[in-house]
Amino acid sequence: MTGPEHPAYWRQRWARGETGWHLDEPNPWLVAHASHLPGGGRVLVPLCGRSRDLAWLARAGWHPVGIEVVEDAARGLFRDARLVPTERQVSGATHLEAGGIEVWVADVFELAPSAVGPVDAWWDRAALVALPAFLRGRYAERLRRWLRPEGRGLLVTLEHDEPEREGPPFSVSPDEVVASFAPRPVRLLGELDLRTAAGANATHPAPRRAVERLWLIDALG
């Protein structure tokens, strides 16, 4: 099997139903802390999978814009929301839209920046931590570039003690978060020790020793 830096790896995981990260409800961190995001704005949801978070954001008045490389996952997101998307081809990518939700079926590293940005906010859950270390810098650079200066991001990370070769979700330290989004101020909003919280409150399906953290990547200046 190829590694998580390749879309083929993710296509295979979706095809095999190896999607233990998927939640059948909106993410509890998002629901509890979405008020930090600029009201009514465009919220980028990179590597969105089939996440219910986009439908929740749309219902709550935001304009979610997902990016997902696996087409079946992106279409499933609309089916789950009982929406039939309109479809168009733009700059080599498929753009799906319905019910105030947009999703680009594309590799986040290939999508033309002008197709997406600028955005007022982004919501990253299981996206940064899905990428190996050598790609995370490039990914964070895209998020920095797409976000308006006054925009804000909400980021969920996982820190654990397993080596990178074990595959995603990868461990991301607080120092990496601060360095990745400088010069934006970064604020820790919440922390969950999955050793004690595994089960009802754990929003990552990781049974191993792990700390999940919610970060606010704040406006510039």
CB of 221 to ligand SAM, least distance (A): 29
d(CA 7, CA 107): 7
Identified binder of ligand SAM from the candidate list 37, 43, 44, 49, rule CB under 6 A: 49
Identified binder of ligand SAM from the candidate list 68, 102, 120, 212, rule CB under 6 A: 68
Per-residue x/- mask for ligand SAM, residues 191 to 220, rule CB under 6 A? Answer: ------------------------------
Q: CB–CB of 158/127 below 8 Å? A: no
CB atoms within 10 A of CB 97: 16
Identified binder of ligand SAM from the candidate list 37, 69, 194, 210, rule CB under 6 A: 69
* 119-158: contacts with ligand SAM (CB under 6 A): 125-127, 130
Identified binder of ligand SAM from the candidate list 76, 100, 109, 219, rule CB under 6 A: 109
Cβ proximity to ligand SAM: between 47 and 116 the closer is 47
Q: CB–CB of 43/121 below 8 Å? A: yes
Q: Is 54 in the site for ligand SAM (CB under 6 A)?
A: no
d(CA 217, CA 176): 13
Cβ proximity to ligand SAM: between 89 and 183 the closer is 89
Q: Is 102 in the site for ligand SAM (CB under 6 A)?
A: no
Q: How many residues bind ligand SAM (CB under 6 A)?
A: 19
Q: Is 67 in the site for ligand SAM (CB under 6 A)?
A: yes
Identified binder of ligand SAM from the candidate list 22, 33, 144, 148, rule CB under 6 A: 22
Cβ proximity to ligand SAM: between 49 and 85 the closer is 49
Mind spelling out the 3-state secondary structure of the chain?
CCCCCCHHHHHHHHHHCCCCCCCCCCCHHHHHHHHHCCCCCEEEEECCCCCCHHHHHHHCCCEEEEEECCHHHHHHHHHHCCCCCEEEEECCEEEEEECCEEEEECCCCCCCHHHHCCEEEEEEECCHHHCCHHHHHHHHHHHHHHEEEEEEEEEEEEEECCCHHHCCCCCCCHHHHHHHHCCCCEEEEEEEEHHHHCCCCCCCCCCCCEEEEEEEECCCC
Cβ proximity to ligand SAM: between 93 and 147 the closer is 93
Question: Quick one: which segment of 82-90, 102-110, 146-154, 190-198 binds ligand SAM (CB under 6 A)?
Answer: 102-110
Binding positions for ligand SAM, rule: CB under 6 A: 10, 21-22, 47-49, 51, 67-70, 73, 107-109, 125-127, 130
